[in-house]
Each structure stands twice: as C-alpha cells, then as structure tokens.
Amino acid sequence: MLKNKSFNKTIIILMVFVTTYVLGITPISMEQVYAAGIQATFYVSPDGDDTNPGTESQPFATITKARDVIRTINDNMTGDIIVYLRDGEYYIEDTITFNESDSGTNGYKIHYKNYNSEEPEIIGGQKITGWTLHEGNIYKAYVGNDWQSYNMIENGVTCTVARTPNTGYFKVDSKVIEGISFKYKAEDITDTFDYSDASVMIWVGQAHWDWFTSLLSIDNVDFTNKTIKVNPSTNTFRTMDTGARYYLNGSLDFLDTPGEFYYDQSEGYVYYWSGNDSIDQQEIIAATVKNVIELKGSSTDNHVMNLHFEGLKMALSNYSNEHWSYQDPGTIGIGDNNEYEHGRYGLFYMENASHNAIRFCKIFNAGFSAIILNHAADNNTIYGNWIQDAGYNGIYLTGWGPNRGGFANITEAYVNHNNIISNNYIYNCGLNVGHGSGVQLYMSGDNEISYNEISTMPRYGISLKGQRWGTQPSTYYGETVNFDNHYDFNLCKDNVIKYNDMYDLCNDSGDCGAVEGWGTGKGNYVFNNRLHDYYNDVSSYAFFGFMNDDDSDYYTLENNLVYNWAGTRAFQNNGNSNLTYINNHHSTNEQDAMTKASQNGIDWNNVGLKGDFPFDTSLVATVLLPTKYEAEKAVLSSGASINTNHTGYSGTGFIDGYGSTGAATTFSVNTSKAGHYEVVLRYSGEVSERTLGVYVNGTKALDTNLPPTSDWDSWASKKEVLTLEEGLNTITYQNDAGNNGVANLDYIMVTPCTVEPITIEAEDYDSMNGVSLHPGDQVVGWCDDGDWLCYNNVNLGNGYNELVVKVAVDPAYAGKRAEIRLDSVTGTLIGTLTVGDTGSWDTFHEQTISLTGGSGVHDIYVVFKDGSGVGNFDWFRFDY
C-alpha cells in the first residue's frame, strides 16, 4: 500500500511537469506537491508577479493566475489544493469568475484562504487620486468615461450618491399619469437641476403601503408645472401615489453635504465632498464591478463545485442608477415576487454552483447583495461571516420564477435548495433598496438559516417568498395548476429557521415582520428564535414579530420569543391555513422574556452566534435600542381610561378619556444615565390638531402638538427630545387647561439620543437686523422681509437632519418664509421654513423642516422673507 502511494505521487509529479512544459504554464516546484491530503499549495501576493512559480518566496500577483494554473492539475485530484492569499489589497477591475473547470474533483476541495492570521482584502473597485478643487468643499478627479460607478467608499465607509433631501424623504404631491409622472411640492424642490443622470428612489404602490422601493431613471422634469416623469419602461409596479415617499439622486446639483459623490460619465469626472480634511490623504475607492467573485457553472448540468473561500476580507461592489421593484402581476402576469435579473448581483455571486463554502470572511459595502445564490445553487455553506453595509440583502437565495429556466417540469425546476446559512453577523443592509433584508429567500427550499445575528434592516430580518395561489400562472411547465395541486409548484418550502437573534428591523417600511412569509410552500419550520427591540414611526402600515402574510400556509412556529417591540401583534396570521403554534411567547422587556424562556423550556443561551465566530463586532457602532412603554400599563388619572373600541393599537388596549381637563397618563421610565432622550408617542385623533402638556418628573417641559390622523383607527407618532435623570423618571401626557387634547394614546418609545440636539433661544442672538423682542416675553417678533437673526459659532458637528422651530403666527400672515443660511445673509441655504398657521400670534407650535448640508462650526443666519409679520419665534432646535 505504501509502495502504491509513492508510485501515485511520482506519477502525479511527472504529469504536472509534463503539462507545465508542454503547455507553457508557469513551472510548479516540488515543494508545492504534498502527500497527506494536500496535492498542491500556491501563494498570491499584491507584491508578486504572475511570471513567478507561485511559491511562498515567489508568489503570483493575481487570483486569476492561481485559478488558471490550478485548471491544469485538478482533473483528477488526489488531495486538497490550497491557495494562500498574503496580506494586502487586491483591486479588481473585472469580475473573477470560476466555472466548472475550476472545481475540486474526487471529493477534494480547492481553498482560497488567508495565510495564518493575515487579512488580505479583495476590493471590487479602483482607488481615486489626483483630486483638484471644483468649488467650495467639492473636489473632482478624472477617472475616464468608459465605466460607471454608483458605489464608493472613503476609508471603508460607504459614501452616498448625491441626493435631495440629504436624509429622509419628500412626499409626492399628486400623481399625474399612473406609473409615469407625479407632481412635487414647491417647498421641496425650489430650483431647477440637471436631471440628465438623475433618478427617483420611491416607495412604489399606494402611499401607505411602504412595501417595495424602485430606483427609476428620470425622463423629464417640467419645472414650471412641478412634474417629474420617469422612464415608463422602468416602473413595473406602476403606482406612484399621492403621499408616497421619495428622494432624488444622481445630479451634481444635489451634492451639498459631506460624504456625497456624483459621477459624470459624459465628462469622466467623479465629484466628491470628503468628510475629512486633506482629501489626498484619504483612501477613496470607486466600485467597478457588480459581482466581484463569481462562481458560475455553464449550465444547470455543469456546476462549479468544491471551492472554499476562507478568512478573506471582500469589500465594495457596484450598484446602478436603476433598480426596478418586483414584477407586477397586473402587467407582467407572472407574479409580483419575481425579481428582475438586474437585481440579482452580489459581491460574492453563485449560480450553477454546488458544495461550495464561504467561511469566516468579512464582506462589506456591497452595492447590491453581499452574497447571492442565484437560480441553480444547492448544498452550499455560508458560515461564520461578518456581513455589513450591503445595498440590498445580506444573503439572497433566489430560484427561478414561474416557467423560467427552460425546465421540463417543476421537479427539474427545484434547483435552489439545501444550502446552509449559519453563524453569520449581518448588519445594516438595504442601504440602496428599501425592502432589503438580512436573509431573503425566493422559490428556495430545504435550507437551514440558523444561529445568525441580524440587525438594522429597513424591512425584514429573514424573508421567505414564493408564488401564492392567485399569482401563479395557470400552467407550470405545461402542467395545469389548480387549487388542489398549487402547493406542488411552490418551491419555497421545508426551510428551517432556528436559533437566530434579530433586532432593530422594519425601520423604514410597513407591512413587515422580523421573520416574514408570503405565498410560501409547505413545511417551513421556525424554531427557537429571538425577535426584539425594534419599532417604526415612518409608516402607518402595521408591522409584526412573526408575519405569516398572504397564503404562507403550513408553517410550524415553536419556542420563539418576541419582546420589546412596538408592532401590532407578535404573531400575525393573515388569513392563512394549517399553521401550528407551539410554546411561543411575547414580553414587554428582556427580563420578562428570559423568565418565560426559563419557565417554558426555551433555550436562551444558545441563540445567535456560536462560539467559533471569529470576529469582534463590538467595534460596530452601538445600536441604541428603544424601550417601549405601553400606555395601558401606565398610571392613569382624572378621567383617562383603558379602551379597545378601535383597531390598530399595540398591546392590550389604548388610553382615551382625554376629553376631561386634567386627564393624564404617567409612564415610569428607567434610564442608565442622565441625558437627552428621544421620546416618541404613538397616538390617534381625527379631524384637527390637538395639544397635550408633557411633564418630566412632575415639571412641565412643553406642550406637544399632535397633527390629526385620518380616523380613530389610524395611528401616528410624535417625537420629543426630553432631558431625563439617571434611574427612575416619570413622563406624563396631560390635558391641561388651554389644551385641546382629545386623543387616544397607545405607547411611548424611549431611546437615548445618539447626537445631542442644539437648542438656541431666539432672543439669544449675537446680532440682528430689524427685529424686536416682545415686551416682557422671551420671544422675537416684528420679523419682516429682509430682517435677520445671527447666532455665532454654532458647532453643527457632522451635521443635523432637522430643525425644529417653535413659532406663532396669525392665520392672515401664515405662509411666509424663514431661511436658514450659513455664515451670511446670502450664504449657503440649508433649510427653509414656510411658517404654518398656528391660530394666533400667541399660540406657539413646533414646526419641523429638513436640513440639507451644514457641518462644522458656522454662524447661523435666520433670514426672513415675503413681507411683514413672518412670525413670532421662541426657539430653534437642531435635531437629527
């Protein structure tokens, strides 16, 4: 036996050398061929040379060279092949593709991995240098016009395509032509702009849906009639409804704040406002490819197999100026969960791929998804990775849409299955796509999604989507579909979702859950997961813990915990059948959840990342999670009482009875330290605006204004910034004499402020022109056109998103403007308040505007416009 092994080794060595010299391939040294399970070892280094033999002392320079050499020796492998990537940065101009010719054979694997504890970084982009000043704080660099870049990083931090508004959204004023054009509000877009490269990022569908976003290229802007028309071929979800949230991006005219960039392909220049001094000393990299590493066999019968990528850092892939939402059954006829091909990109991409692995890698700054297993992909393992800052999904498993792929029957079409997604830290995805998730499955089955920690997503933590009855075609690959057999054609089935820890989700969308199913097949099993610490004040649409949406039937949910969340229900069943619930619980806080876990045999300690997860994620910016306080558990007085006669409330009821003067709800709030806290009240109240007094620890802090909701079954949120002491505090909402506080209260969410707000009393100006103080009041009045206030040396830090103004104005004078400018009366405009009617000169309301730009230390000018009597001003608060 030993003799045979020696003979085989000799033959292998001879074959390697014969192949090398006959074909002219770079020679492979004897030290690269081993017994004991390792057939060959190669080295790659950024300091190497592709004419080298690939040894430790003479490494290759590129991964593609190592791949090409291995193709000559992997037909009949006798052991694993290892490619060590040495420390340094590998800049990728073109996708690195592995096909079936690059597979491990005879059950052996080919490893591309780091050497010892080194961290090689594979970067899907190119460094940008040679910056010159364009104007103001904006620099430009020539990169040529033979490529497009819609993703960029500075010192590892994702930059933003220049947009307006800089944060948050505008809202559609009214739709003009269904799915093609809409009107914008005059106060949102006050000037013309170059829209030749611009796009609209919009929550398509009806205004309150907040389900999916589309990035649609702009075809035309009519500035006179304030109408934006998109390219009609790009908007497949059709409706851009009145009130729908949107922003614009992709114009140099929008570049007005640090961290924004714009690439002008026609001129070949990238324009950028760096967030740091000395732009030439920063590492700024623009994306060049959408897929950086691609494992793609030539067909469903020819898979790339047995490749392992381990211990690598992979950063940056490209995005696009268009990304359409799911196809719409109303126009396409094949179901609204079928993703277009142009959305199926990943920094790490697999298709026609089996038995491959990505292990213990860092995968950051993807333009689309970090990892995608597209179409045919089975028995692959994604394990122990740190995934962060992806534009779309963290991990995306997506099979074929109905009748796609050229299959003979539905059995042949079941090609995305049996993958393992385990022990991954997935953080802050959906940066470009509002319906982004931690893990997204579409028409994919028999997968295990386990032991992951998933947080900070605009929509789902884990989403399972198939094709429900009613959106399925009438025939599938020639076979008739009817209600009795329709589950046979739903391939999102038999998935196991277990031991995942998920939090800070659904933070920019509606109609969602931390774990969600829509139109799925049979046999999905959700076991021993924790969902906690998330709330949403951006959408009127409900959100939940576990959400079994339309026709997500035949699920089993067992031993799951939901706590400290502000959704409507912990476990939502949207008219589904054959759901099995076993030993699931929800709580208002973590301590109670731990107690219920202990009492009910639910495993608490083993949820989330495993002990072999290799990275320290404590350096990730801490997510300051909100704490929820239900109103029905607060102290009620003077007529305030619990009721349940309206819908949509959280918990077991809401508080009404605020028609009585003195009616009050007092919350007991515990804090770990003194400071400013964001307190968000969820309330309802139709017809007209109402006010309530807000008290902290028995002392009145302010009167809050609550804009009306559409009816008593609809709910809205109102944010205040309050100063709380360390330990126990009380927060009271009271209907004082003079208030008109007929409102229903649902709960409050309390979160530590990540940025301290700056409040400036209006009368504390350093200089002014034309204004006067009201006698005996700390209020600035007599503010007429051309008058101004100046506040010197205000430190805006990295910038604030909002300005809150406490102001009063008589109805006859309402509608005039106060401009917020930097450093002079004609300086950079960062915001405009159009003063809304408050009822009288003595009735003060808080009015909020978005700020665009402004960081560092500046003199702040408030410049009044449009005639006399702009308003009486009490204070200004820069907020986030």
> What are the backbone angles phi and psi of residue 154, rounded to the nearest 5°?
-120, 115
Same domain, 611 and 697: no
- pLDDT of res. 366: 97
Alpha-carbon torsion, ordered 208, 210, 214, 219, to 10 deg: 20
- pLDDT of res. 727: 77
Domain-terminating residue out of 707, 732, 752? 752
Same domain, 151 and 272: yes
- State how far Cα 750 lies from the chain centre: 22
- Alpha-carbon dihedral sign for residues 534, 540, 544, 547: negative
What is the C-alpha separation between 463 and 511, in angstroms, rounded?
12
Same domain, 95 and 180: no
Same domain, 72 and 162: no
- pLDDT of res. 335: 43
Question: Where residue 756 falls among pLDDT bands split at 50, 70, 90?
Answer: confident
Question: Where residue 764 falls among pLDDT bands split at 50, 70, 90?
Answer: very high
Domain region containing 68: 1-123+308-316
- pLDDT of res. 140: 96
What is the C-alpha separation between 325 and 392, in angstroms, rounded?
12
Same domain, 611 and 640: no
What is the C-alpha separation between 700 and 695, in angstroms, rounded?
4
> What are the backbone angles phi and psi of residue 12, rounded to the nearest 5°?
-60, -45
Tell me the three state secondary structure of residue 26: coil
Mean pLDDT of the chain: 87
Considering just the CA atoms, what is the radius of gyration of the chain in Å?
A: 30
What is the C-alpha separation between 241 and 204, in angstroms, rounded?
7
Residue 3 has pLDDT above 80, yes or no: no
Q: Please report whether residue 426 resides in a domain.
A: yes
If we measure between CA atoms, which residue out of 393, 522, 534, 411 comes closest to residue 468?
522
Question: Where residue 236 falls among pLDDT bands split at 50, 70, 90?
Answer: low
Among 47-56, 228-237, 357-366, 486-495, the range scoring the smallest mean pLDDT is 228-237
- pLDDT of res. 573: 61
Total count of domains within the chain: 5
Bridge partners for 308 per DSSP: 111, 357
Same domain, 573 and 631: no
Residue 4 has pLDDT above 50, yes or no: no
pLDDT digits (tens, 9 = 90+) for 421-432: 999 999 999 999
Question: Where residue 324 falls among pLDDT bands split at 50, 70, 90?
Answer: confident
Residue 625 has pLDDT above 60, yes or no: no
What is the C-alpha separation between 366 and 292, in angstroms, rounded?
9
What is the C-alpha separation between 831 and 846, in angstroms, rounded?
16
Question: Where residue 264 falls among pLDDT bands split at 50, 70, 90?
Answer: very high
What is the C-alpha separation between 133 and 665, in angstroms, rounded?
57
- pLDDT of res. 404: 86
Helix/strand number for the chain, H first, E second: 4, 76
- pLDDT of res. 23: 34
Residue 16 has pLDDT above 50, yes or no: no
Contact of 375 with 399, CB cutoff 8 Å:
yes
- Please provide the size of the chain in residues: 880
Same domain, 497 and 567: yes
Q: Please report whether residue 298 resides in a domain.
A: no
Contact of 237 with 212, CB cutoff 8 Å:
yes
Question: Where residue 26 falls among pLDDT bands split at 50, 70, 90?
Answer: very low
State what percent of residues in the chain have pLDDT above 70.
89
Task: Give the CATH number for residue 644.
Answer: 2.60.120.260
- pLDDT of res. 572: 62
Domain-terminating residue out of 729, 752, 775? 752
Mean local confidence (pLDDT), 192-202: 94
Q: Please report whether residue 112 resides in a domain.
A: yes
Contact of 43 with 120, CB cutoff 8 Å:
no
Residue 558 has pLDDT above 80, yes or no: yes
Question: Where residue 18 falls among pLDDT bands split at 50, 70, 90?
Answer: very low
| HSE-up of residue 584 (Cα within 13 Å, Cβ side) | 21
List, in sequence order, every beta strand (DSSP E) within 484-599.
496-498, 501-503, 512-518, 525-527, 530-534, 543-548, 556-558, 561-565, 571-573, 580-582, 585-587
Expressed in percent and rounded to 5, the helix, strand and coil fractions of the chain are: 10, 40, 50
- pLDDT of res. 178: 81
What is the C-alpha separation between 202 and 185, in angstroms, rounded?
15
* Residue carrying structure tokens 């959700």: 526
Among 261-265, 630-634, 756-760, the range scoring the smallest mean pLDDT is 756-760
Residue 82 has pLDDT above 60, yes or no: yes
Q: Please report whether residue 323 resides in a domain.
A: no
- Alpha-carbon dihedral sign for residues 274, 278, 283, 287: positive
- pLDDT of res. 20: 36
Q: Please report whether residue 325 resides in a domain.
A: no
pLDDT digits (tens, 9 = 90+) for 96-150: 999 999 999 999 999 999 999 899 999 999 999 999 999 988 999 999 988 889 9
Same domain, 687 and 778: no
Q: Please report whether residue 301 resides in a domain.
A: no
Mean local confidence (pLDDT), 59-65: 98
What is the C-alpha separation between 641 and 77, in angstroms, rounded?
76
If we measure between CA atoms, which residue out of 809, 805, 802 comes closest to residue 866?
809
What is the C-alpha separation between 728 and 120, in angstroms, rounded?
49
Mean local confidence (pLDDT), 846-867: 89
- pLDDT of res. 332: 37
pTM of the model: 0.74
Mean local confidence (pLDDT), 800-824: 93
Q: Please report whether residue 763 resides in a domain.
A: yes
Question: Where residue 621 falls among pLDDT bands split at 50, 70, 90?
Answer: low
- pLDDT of res. 569: 60
Tell me the three state secondary structure of residue 31: helix
Same domain, 521 and 488: yes
What is the C-alpha separation between 750 and 625, in angstroms, rounded?
9
What is the C-alpha separation between 644 and 631, in angstroms, rounded?
12
CA angle, corner 651, sides to 649 and 657, nearest 5?
A: 60
Residue 22 has pLDDT above 50, yes or no: no
The residue with greater pLDDT, 2 or 777, is: 777
Contact of 240 with 782, CB cutoff 8 Å:
no
Residue 700 has pLDDT above 70, yes or no: yes
Tell me the three state secondary structure of residue 590: helix
Mean local confidence (pLDDT), 160-188: 90
Residue 19 has pLDDT above 90, yes or no: no
Among 43-47, 693-697, 850-854, the range scoring the smallest mean pLDDT is 850-854
Question: Where residue 27 falls among pLDDT bands split at 50, 70, 90?
Answer: very low
Among 161-170, 571-580, 870-879, the range scoring the smallest mean pLDDT is 571-580
What is the C-alpha separation between 749 and 171, in angstroms, rounded?
25
- pLDDT of res. 138: 94
Bridge partners for 642 per DSSP: 655
Mean local confidence (pLDDT), 22-45: 59
Question: Is there a cis peptide before residue 46, judged by omega within 30 degrees of 0?
Answer: no
Same domain, 114 and 66: yes
Same domain, 262 and 390: no
- pLDDT of res. 14: 32
Domain-terminating residue out of 731, 752, 773? 752
Element (H, E) at 656: strand 654-656
Same domain, 738 and 768: no
- pLDDT of res. 750: 87
